[in-house]
Structure 1
Amino acid sequence: MPILKYKHLIFDLDGTLWDPRSTIIGIWNDVLHEHQLIERELKPEDMNPYMGLLAKDIIKDIVSGISDQKVQEVLSNIIAKEKKSCVPVAVSCTGC
């Protein structure tokens, strides 16, 4: 595999260039429904207060009284689905 040389790499870790909420909310809804933990679907804006927090803490807040073991199970399912749907992408731009 050839080694590509780039002058610059852009990392968007805070959602400035790409808002991950609309992408991941479907996965969270699917998993939380599969585990029968929510009655209504979450909307992207429902995640606003949680931006920057750990996923396990978000789950604990969304599902009150959930056990640590169930949190780990749900989180494992979410991570597995996110890995399948989110493909890492690097975009080359000549002259940037």
Structure 2
Amino acid sequence: MKVESLIFDMDGTLWDSAANVAASWSEVLERQADVDMKVTEADIKSVMGMPMDAIADKLFGAYSEDRMTQLIDACGDYENEYLREHGGVLYDGVEDTIAKLSGSHRLFIVSNCQSGYIEAFLDYYGFGKYFKDILCWGDTKVSKGESIKILMEKNGIEDAAYVGDIQGDCDSARFAGIKFIHAAYGFGSVKDKDAEINTFAELLDVVE
């Protein structure tokens, strides 16, 4: 598959941050007098890939809309600080493969996360040098498919593939009119794809 640019999902594609996200959120919730709950790694994995407002509704739906917003904002802000210090679980082969791909492709990231999350990932691993641009739900407040289109227009991208792990990623790629590569080692299955990788390093064989 020959494409000029590659756009990456984050969770389930580049890394698994669920355990540390759960740890950071639980710290925040323990400090809330009106909250009697903990967030587990399984809870976080169950909402990976969803926009932050949808995550708030699912996990904090018992609270008022204003309180949900306060809680998700507090959790997201502290999560960014926590991940910048502690990182997550990087999938095997990501650093070497990204370094090689950056020599032949323009690389980007689009995620449904809060602002600052992608930056925390890039800062922790020192990957900022490999990516030309990033965009997330926290920046645009629109769907991932729309965010992909915004990023493409901004960077003059005409020929690209999106690499992600769940059906929502595939749907977003189709919405943006680009190819989709399924990271089958991630969090979900996909009905429609142009290619599939079972390890991150396999991406080299798919696109080069």
Q: TM-score, normalised to structure 2's length?
A: 0.34
- Cα distance change, pair 69–53 in 1 and its aligned pair in 2 (3 A): same
Aligned residue in 1 for 2:126: 90
Question: SS where residue 16 of structure 2 aligns?
Answer: coil
Distance apart, 1:61 and its partner CA: 1.8
Q: Is the 8 A contact 2:56 2:69 kept in 1?
A: no
Number of aligned positions between the proteins: 86
Aligned residue in 1 for 2:28: 31
CA distance in 2 between counterparts of 1:61 and 1:78 reads 14
Confirm or deny that 1:68 pairs with 2:104: no
Distance apart, 1:11 and its partner CA: 5.0
Aligned residue in 1 for 2:51: 54
CA distance in 1 between counterparts of 2:51 and 2:9 reads 17
CA distance in 2 between counterparts of 1:48 and 1:83 reads 17
Structure 1: 5+ residue stretches without partners: 1-8
CA distance in 2 between counterparts of 1:80 and 1:49 reads 20
- Cα distance change, pair 10–62 in 1 and its aligned pair in 2 (3 A): closer
Task: Give the structure with the larger strand fraction.
Answer: 2
Confirm or deny that 1:13 pairs with 2:13: no
1:10-39 deviations in Å (ceiling 9; x for gaps): 955132342010111111112222224233
